[in-house]
Amino acid sequence: MHKNTICLHHGYRADPATNSVAVPIYQTTSYQFDDTAQAARLFGLEELGNIYTRIMNPTCDVLEQRMAAFEGGVAALAVASGQAASAMSVQNIAQAGDNIVVSTDIYGGTWNLFGNTLKTMGIETRFVDPSDPENFRRATDDKTRAYYGETLANPKLRVFPIAEVAAIGRELGVPLIMDNTAAPTLCHPFEHGAAVIVYSMTKYIGGHGTSIGGMIIDGGNFDWENHAARFPMLTQPDPSYHGAVWTKAAKGLGAPIAYILKARTTMLRDMGQAMSPFNAWMFIQGLETLPLRMREHCRNAETVAKHLAAKPGVTKVIFPGLEDDADIKKRNEAHMAGGWGGLVGFEMAGGAAQGAKFIDALKLLYHVANIGDVRSLAIHPWSTTHQQLSDEEKIAAGVTEGYVRLSVGIEHIDDIIADLDQAFAAAG
């Protein structure tokens, strides 16, 4: 099936109990076992099935199957937030004493998670500038467990060199984890060699600003056994599950799902960042119209970017479609076949003070810490999303004092432009 058909149909036809066409919300904590033998088989992973909603749920399962198929992966795991997805995607294969190599172009929350919180757990993060993909190779040693990047890095809006970094990783035995939050339908990272995709479902996939959620998708395309020394957490007996070896357990189940199987049966079991069935249902509604909405986000954002580029007082417009460096343009085009996305950044000549005035004057655009809503949104990252970073770290992440980030929605373009223009007039 094509991607937009998958978004509507994959993983569900009709509810076996009621024939309901809409996916039901299975708002239950637990599931009646057929008998004690079946219960034992479920716990022993000889049979996959519902045990307890912290670990799996039928509504979440439809969403997981749909997201996995949409990205061309083998299986997925729904979790409580994008942050939970990022944290778990690393903790699933890295432990104290290990390191990960991470792009400097990432969301401020992820920067904090990796640079500070994972550090307290003994996992070292080596931040590198992705504009030279070879920086990933240089930072790799035998304790490196993953590379991590964002497809359309928020707020720098530079497209990550997925193909180049994935190729280095495959040579050295390091999987690339891609956060594709800002680019669903536009880029499919497994097609470029990524091994794992994470999403904040909160953004474009939910689309309506109602629910927080995350997703981890296993590409099933990384040979963990071939690099067994790097991945003892997947290839050595796991004392938390009667000595299960996850690569072998996956083989027993007939699918290359060792990574996601372990994430579900150990990480989610122990740390409990489960997605609620109700939120999964909301994301299923969002996913159905995602391809339509993304087209409109892209169309409006491109018009806004061009409008801003022609505006006196705007010193810089940051938008992947307006890139003039030939090499970066080529990379952008190679990865973002589906469009340039809905995010537009710009800098105002008057710096932070003028940026703040501009945001305060907006009437239609919401001033919120979010992206990917159907409504247009604006924020000043220096004083908000990236506030907890040092000034040096902010600059490395692409956040200057006068930077304003827009998440362009699907309102009529004339109304968006009119609001921006009146705010420019008010900001002077």
162 or 182: CB nearest ligand PLP: 182
Long-range contacts of 352-355 (CB under 8 A, 24+ apart): 352/380, 352/382, 352/383, 352/401, 352/402, 354/313, 354/402, 354/427, 354/428, 355/380, 355/382, 355/401, 355/402, 355/403, 355/404, 355/427
Q: Is there binding between residue 173 and ligand PLP (CB under 6 A)?
A: no
82 or 320: CB nearest ligand PLP: 82
Phi then psi dihedrals of residue 189, to 5 deg: -60, -30
Q: Is there binding between residue 103 and ligand PLP (CB under 6 A)?
A: no
User: C-beta of 15: minimal distance to ligand PLP in Å?
Assistant: 28
Q: Helix 413-427 and helix 277-309: axis angle, to 10°?
A: 60
Residues numbered 378 to 397 that lie near ligand PLP (CB under 6 A) are none
Q: Is there binding between residue 202 and ligand PLP (CB under 6 A)?
A: yes
* Contacts with ligand PLP, 208-237, as mask; x by CB under 6 A: ----x-x-----------------------
User: Closest CB to ligand PLP belongs to which residue?
Assistant: 82
- Exactly one of 71, 98, 150, 218 binds ligand PLP (CB under 6 A); that residue is 150
Q: Evaluate the omega torsion of the peptide bond into residue 155 and state whether it is cis, within 30 degrees of 0.
A: yes
245 or 343: CB nearest ligand PLP: 343
Q: Per CB under 6 A, which region of 105-113, 118-126, 132-140, 292-300 contacts ligand PLP?
A: 105-113
Q: Is there binding between residue 107 and ligand PLP (CB under 6 A)?
A: yes
Q: Is there binding between residue 376 and ligand PLP (CB under 6 A)?
A: no
6 or 379: CB nearest ligand PLP: 379
Identify whether the C-beta of residue 366 lies closer than 8 Å to the C-beta of residue 377.
yes
Residues numbered 180 to 199 that lie near ligand PLP (CB under 6 A) are 181-182
User: C-beta of 342: minimal distance to ligand PLP in Å?
Assistant: 12
Q: Name 197's bridge partners.
A: 178, 217
- Exactly one of 61, 179, 323, 347 binds ligand PLP (CB under 6 A); that residue is 179
Residue 202, classed as helix, strand or coil, is: coil
Burial letters 321-352, b for 16+ CB under 10 A, else e: bbbeeeeeeebbeebbebbbbbbbbbbbebee
User: C-beta of 381: minimal distance to ligand PLP in Å?
Assistant: 11
CA 309/CA 347 separation, integer angstroms: 10
Identify whether the C-beta of residue 181 lies closer than 8 Å to the C-beta of residue 372.
yes
Q: Name 366's bridge partners.
A: 377
Long-range contacts of 63-66 (CB under 8 A, 24+ apart): 63/215, 63/275, 63/280, 63/283, 63/284, 63/287, 64/11, 64/215, 65/10, 65/11, 65/12, 66/6, 66/7, 66/10, 66/11, 66/12, 66/284, 66/287
Residues numbered 80 to 99 that lie near ligand PLP (CB under 6 A) are 81-83
Residue 392 token pair: 């040096």
How big is the site for ligand PLP, counted in residues (CB under 6 A)? 16
Residue 210 token pair: 């109602």
User: C-beta of 386: minimal distance to ligand PLP in Å?
Assistant: 11
53 or 200: CB nearest ligand PLP: 200
Residues numbered 50 to 79 that lie near ligand PLP (CB under 6 A) are none
Q: Is there binding between residue 345 and ligand PLP (CB under 6 A)?
A: no
User: C-beta of 84: minimal distance to ligand PLP in Å?
Assistant: 7
Q: Per CB under 6 A, which region of 33-41, 55-63, 139-147, 178-186 contacts ligand PLP?
A: 178-186
Question: Which residues here bind ligand PLP, judged by CB under 6 A?
Answer: 81-83, 107, 109-110, 150, 154, 179, 181-182, 200, 202, 212, 214, 371
